[in-house]
Structure 1
Amino acid sequence: MDNLKIYSQGNIDHLLIARDGEIKLGERVNVYQHEERALSGDSISVDGLKASSSKFVLFGIPEDIGVRANLGIAGAASMWRPSLVAFLNIQSNRFLNGEEVLVLGHFEIDEPEDSSLMGLRNKVAQIDELVYPVIEKIVAAGKIPIVIGGGHNNAYPIIKGTSLAHEEPIAVLNVDAHADLRELEGRHSGNGFSYALKENYLNNYFMYGLHQNYNNEAILNQIDTNPKFKAVFFEDILTGADFTDIVNEIGSVVGLEIDLDCVQNVLSSAETPSGFAINDIRKLILTSAKKFSYLHLSEGATRMLDGRVSRLTAKLVAYLVSDFVKGYSS
């Protein structure tokens, strides 16, 4: 049965690589505490989250059902655990202590019995219902979610949960090669923002780094005609466009979505030889983290179904998560 596995300190300790004379983040992070151990998302309470001193709540959605439902290659489910291990084994020091972060756990999601395209899309809709209430509680508790995916389909329940907690539609900045504004044809990784817009959870939608070659004409027409949309294409960045105009328009409640397939040579279903350098993304986060109500890292992988493997994706995610906490706290 699908559920949220809540971590104990013992779960964290199992992932640590101890070294004499050093303290790792995993020795300092917090876990969810309750008189009766929470076993699922339903048993997490806003008060229980408020009881933690941590500002950030980190959890994973290790699934690639949404990617496959969008005719992509499986592999995104592999990103969570190696990334968590890499993050927990960062040094605890003057720059980042670890107590800033509560490590909540990860969603355990069963494969659908129906593996057809529509069966996969129906399963994604079930994942939506699993994820958004947890996000809503985290935000209602005054915390900032940091979500490691998983497919970009999870943008929709994250946006929905944040919107419900704030009782208003929110804005989102999506750093991505793809707008993910495909048709309302059943849920998948290519239409999370379409559904969020349709259901009035998403207000202004800012896209940064879209690739001209990989957004169809119907999506381009949407961008041109919808006043809620603003897009900067990667080709425009190559010829001088920057992040400044978008930052100036961002409101008070805005989520940060980073699809790792926009980063050059990062393993993903839509891996690209042309894209942002890793340090471009790090700089964006470090200089603007305070503006964002959540961070969602999606689509990266350490192992793809077609045999491609990269251990560097996990370390990249650890850098981006630690940058977000540092950038917000500075």
Structure 2
Amino acid sequence: MDKLKIYSQSEINNLIIYRDGETKLGEKVEIYRHSEGDSSSTVAISFESLMKSKAKFVLLGIPEDIGIRANAGIAGASTIWRPALMAFLNIQSNRFLHGEEILVLGHFEIEEPEDSSIGGLRNKVVDIDDLVFPVIEKIVSAGKIPIVIGGGHNNAFPIIKGTSLAKKQAIDVLNIDAHADLRKQEGRHSGNGFTYALAENYLNNYFMYGLHQNYNNEEILNQNETNPKLKAVFFDEILKCANDKDFFFGIGSTAGLEIDLDCIQNVLSSAETPSGFAVNDIRKLILTSKREFSYLHISEGATRLLDGRVSKLTSKLIAYLVSDFIKAQV
């Protein structure tokens, strides 16, 4: 059965590499603790228990690549959550980032569908949507900021939905991505999360930063020109040193931040690219942001892809991006 697995302290401890004279983030982070009368089920969390936490950020994973396969992509995004969590928990706890700001909640356990056809995979993505959004809604309603590590970019939809329901309004989203993910409503997959979020009025203004001209179809380009809610800066224009500073000023105060790792050059993902942002471009963008985002979602990264490609660096990259985000928000 699909469920949210909530971590115990011992499960966190097993991921920490201890060293004399050092303290790691994992030794300082909170775990979710049930209140008196709260269900002990791993399926549900309570608003009241989240409210009692002193942490500002709630970290959780969605280790699946069903949505990517439903979009004819290469499987592998299911491999990133545990290595990324381990890399993050073994960051030093020090004056720059202590660890008490963070509650490590757990991850979603998602079973493979019996029907592995494209249609079966897309039906399964709907089940994932319904599993994820109520958890995000509770986290945001409790005044916390979810940090979600995927998984495919299909999970943008339930994260946006949960945040929107908690905020009781459609939200803006900044998506740093090579692809707009505005494909047709043809069944849920990693390429149309924002399409569904717009259609169901959970997404207000959609800001796309770093799109690649070569990898967005003409229909999507037409949408960007005709829909006033869609605002895009192409990576090709950034290479020409186009002034894009005004682009970020219109982003609303309840915006979410999406980072698809396929926008960064030579990072292992289903759509790995040799041309894209440098890692430090993205780190600088996060660290210099002067706004508080409602959530962070990092998607599409992998440590191992089905075609045999492997990278041990993706997990450490995610640890950098998550720690940068927290430092910029506190």
- TM-score interval, normalised by the smaller of the two chains: over 0.9
Indicate yes or no: 2:245 matched with 1:244: yes
Alpha-carbon distance in 2 for matches of 1:198, 1:149? 23
Tell me if structure 1 keeps the 8 A contact 2:130–2:158.
yes
Unaligned runs of 5+ in 2: none
Tell me if structure 1 keeps the 8 A contact 2:79–2:304.
yes
Tell me if structure 2 keeps the 8 A contact 1:136–1:162.
yes
Structure 1 vs Structure 2: percent identity of aligned residues? 74
TM-score normalised by the chain length of structure 1 = 0.98
Q: Cα RMSD between the aligned structures?
A: 0.9
Call closer, same or farther: CA 1:243–1:145 in 2, change over 3 Å.
Answer: farther
| 2:159 alignment counterpart | 158
Alpha-carbon distance in 2 for matches of 1:106, 1:38? 16
Aligned-pair CA distance for 1:241: 2.5
Structure 1 outlier segments of 4+, above 4 Å: none
| 1:222 alignment counterpart | 223
Tell me if structure 1 keeps the 8 A contact 2:61–2:81.
yes
Letter in 1 for 2:218: E
| 1:271 alignment counterpart | 272
Letter in 2 for 1:199: E
Call closer, same or farther: CA 1:94–1:242 in 2, change over 3 Å.
Answer: farther
1:264-285 Cα offsets, whole Å, 9 max, x none, are 0000000000000000000111
Tell me if structure 2 keeps the 8 A contact 1:23–1:92.
yes
| 2:147 alignment counterpart | 146
Indicate yes or no: 2:208 matched with 1:202: no
Alpha-carbon distance in 2 for matches of 1:290, 1:26? 27
Call closer, same or farther: CA 1:315–1:242 in 2, change over 3 Å.
Answer: farther
Alpha-carbon distance in 1 for matches of 2:118, 2:147? 29
1:68-83 correspondence runs (5 A): 68-83=69-84
| 1:33 alignment counterpart | 33
2:275 match: secondary structure: coil
1:167-186 correspondence runs (5 A): 167-186=168-187
Letter in 2 for 1:252: S
1:290 match: secondary structure: coil
Alpha-carbon distance in 1 for matches of 2:268, 2:228? 34
Alpha-carbon distance in 2 for matches of 1:8, 1:236? 47
Letter in 2 for 1:328: Q
Aligned-pair CA distance for 1:287: 1.1
Indicate yes or no: 2:96 matched with 1:101: no
Letter in 2 for 1:216: N
Aligned pair count?
A: 328
Alpha-carbon distance in 2 for matches of 1:209, 1:215? 11
Alpha-carbon distance in 2 for matches of 1:155, 1:249? 21
Letter in 1 for 2:123: N
Tell me if structure 2 keeps the 8 A contact 1:289–1:324.
no
2:270 match: secondary structure: coil
Tell me if structure 1 keeps the 8 A contact 2:253–2:291.
no
2:291 match: secondary structure: helix
Indicate yes or no: 2:276 matched with 1:300: no
1:132-143 correspondence runs (5 A): 132-143=133-144
Indicate yes or no: 2:32 matched with 1:19: no
Unaligned runs of 5+ in 1: none
2:33 match: secondary structure: coil
TM-score normalised by the chain length of structure 2 = 0.98
1:288 match: secondary structure: coil
1:67 match: secondary structure: helix
Tell me if structure 2 keeps the 8 A contact 1:5–1:39.
no
